[in-house]
Amino acid sequence: MTSVLPSYVHGASETPLIGETIGQAFRKTVERYGDNEALVSRHQGLRYTYAQLAELVDRAARGLLALGIEKGDRVGIWSPNNAEWVVTQFATARMGAILVNINPAYRQHELEYALQQSGVKLLITAPGFRTHDYRATIASIVPELERSRRGALQAQRLPELRGVVLLGGESAPGMMAWDELLERASAVRQEELEARTAHLQFDDPINIQYTSGTTGYPKGATLSHHNILNNGFFIGEWMRLTPKDRLCIPVPLYHCFGMVLGNLACVTHGSTMVYPAESFDALSVLQTVQEERCTALHGVPTMFIAELGHPDFARFDLSTLRTGIMAGSPCPVEVMKQVNTKMHMTEVTICYGMTETSPVSFQTRPDDDTERRVSTVGAVHPHVEAKVVDPATGEVVPRGTPGELLTRGYLVMLGYWGNEAATREAIDRARWMHTGDMAVMREDGYLNIVGRIKDMIIRGGENVYPREVEEFLYTHPKIADVQVIGVPDPKYGEEVMAWVRLKEGETATEEEIRDFCRGKIASYKIPRYVKFVDSFPMTVTGKIQKFKMREQSIQELGLEQAARMATA
């Protein structure tokens, strides 16, 4: 029987929101926990206490002032994980510049778009990442750089860009070294920085993060001090973080997962940020957790799957782990259970959110029972409202009924940078953020995400939620990972397809997978097509790109004509 309770919740809380800028909150942490280890960057061999990190942050902030960076100017950072990244994060917050996070995987076209669209005035860049030479890419976009005076660049294609700072102790024509930026601090008195900081407001924009769309150009979600500082704080509260906790952060800093769920959760609690490598590597994570005695670990499900499946997993002592976050994409129940037991993360939490909401709106609590922690994305966060509505009518649906999730509160972004039309489409007149996610709110207010509205499969008039089929297939003893998509079909409109990654050393047939489903799930949910793969197309943050899977499958299965029929 359907509940008459509406799918609406409000995270009432006795803990007030923080009415401060990130710089003010950072200073309070430094005053309280100055001798605590703040940052460990293992691949760089660097360690800083909070007092040492604060000194470095202020030098970088004064260096930016010396270069003429004003409040509201955009400073881009294009780099994998390193100590300079977090220094830049807090330095820009200290002096009021807006940090523009640029995906380390971006290539020339994407980089130029982000720099141009946000109007970046100063770009801080790594020399490169993996096989990608960043310096060569920048030189191809800004050929004027080589003959320009440092800090006085005039670029035809990027008219607002004035300079480039190069990390890593290397040099390149026209680029300033990171150490030189720090040396420029001597030209600016500490009092000048304090004066700038005093005039910043917590509602000021402080961060632009480009969200990867499935079509068209990415949009720059613009976030304030208030957005991400409070979100980081309450995330840490629900992890029960203390100054004694040490959080291993293998997720990318350019994304909210690293920058907010990682860095800001730590800094608001005096905890230690630990970077195992410049990008994810399962072995470096296992080594780091053991050697640094980490108490917490973040990751997307594919990262935890890689760690659990590493051939040397059993030889590492992970007993110091207590908590952490699994998020970024739906978390398989079976993987969650192994993280609880084999990795000792009995208080691991699931988070759900999106960049546009700073990002977390729902999270499980450490003391939630096993059923809640493995089968929901948790309860609504403090000071956040959420409702589930019928996508066609906008009306709130009863609990237990699928619909689109909307969220509202301090966490909703200011808007998309320079894109009013997209902002109006995402945030309605009542300031509800339309997530595009299909969700079911349970009787107890906990939330299940059943898929993207665009990912929902409609087979012969029946709605099929890929998440439900994936969870069932995860119980197959041979399956390590699985993703379910819809592909066009001339008879039913769409058919169900499963991309399956088998466990090491296992073999299976398509019919074997289908036989496993028969009699256990409805016949219309059983995959008509099964494809065995070694990996899935995904973003650098571990989000599965189902649109790419669909495109590839249409081509491989010869369904182009059916696809044209479906969209006619």
Per the structure block, which two tokens stand in for 154? 């005039």
pLDDT above 50: residue 1: no
Mean of pLDDT over the chain: 93
Q: Which residue has the higher pLDDT, 140 or 471?
A: 140
pLDDT above 60: residue 566: no
Average pLDDT over residues 123-152: 93
**pLDDT per residue over 392-439, tens digit each?**
899 999 999 999 999 999 999 999 999 999 999 999 999 999 999 999
Per the structure block, which two tokens stand in for 448? 């299940």
| 316: enclosing H helix or E strand | none
* The residue type at 444: D
Query: For residues 268 and 24, what is the distance between their CA atoms, to the nearest angstrom?
Result: 11
The listed range with the strongest mean pLDDT (112-121, 168-177, 488-497) is: 112-121
Average pLDDT over residues 138-167: 94
**pLDDT per residue over 250-269, tens digit each?**
999 999 999 999 999 999 99
Query: For residues 128 and 134, what is the distance between their CA atoms, to the nearest angstrom?
Result: 5
Band (pLDDT 50/70/90 cuts) for residue 2 is very low
pLDDT above 90: residue 19: yes
What's the gap between Cα 204 and its chain centre?
22
Model confidence, pTM: 0.87
| 208: enclosing H helix or E strand | strand 205-211
Band (pLDDT 50/70/90 cuts) for residue 565 is low
Average pLDDT over residues 465-479: 90
**Which percentage of the chain shows pLDDT scores above 70?**
97
- Residue 478 and residue 503 in contact, taking contact as beta carbons nearer than 8 Å: yes
**What integer pLDDT is reported at residue 194 of this predicted model?**
97
**What secondary structure does DSSP assign to 211-245, as a single string?**
E--SSSS-EEEEEEHHHHHHHHHHHHHHTT--TT-
**What integer pLDDT is reported at residue 281 of this predicted model?**
97
**What integer pLDDT is reported at residue 462 of this predicted model?**
77
Lowest mean pLDDT among 210-214, 292-296, 500-504, 533-537: 210-214
- Half-sphere exposure (CA, 13 Å, Cβ side) for 555? 6
Band (pLDDT 50/70/90 cuts) for residue 302 is confident
Any idea what DSSP says for residue 429? T
pLDDT above 70: residue 474: yes
pLDDT above 60: residue 175: yes
Query: For residues 381 and 10, what is the distance between their CA atoms, to the nearest angstrom?
Result: 8
Sheet holding 529-532, edge to edge: 479-489, 493-502, 529-532
**What integer pLDDT is reported at residue 215 of this predicted model?**
44
* Cis-peptide into 359, omega within 30 deg: yes
Within 465-524, residue ranges assigned H as helices are: 466-473, 510-517
CB contact set of 142 (below 8 Å; sequence gap of 6+) = 153, 155, 157, 158, 161, 164
Any idea what DSSP says for residue 355? G
**What integer pLDDT is reported at residue 90 of this predicted model?**
98
Average pLDDT over residues 148-164: 92
For residue 538, what are the β-bridge partners? 544
Domains of the chain as residue ranges with CATH: 52-219 (3.40.50.12780), 457-567 (3.30.300.30)
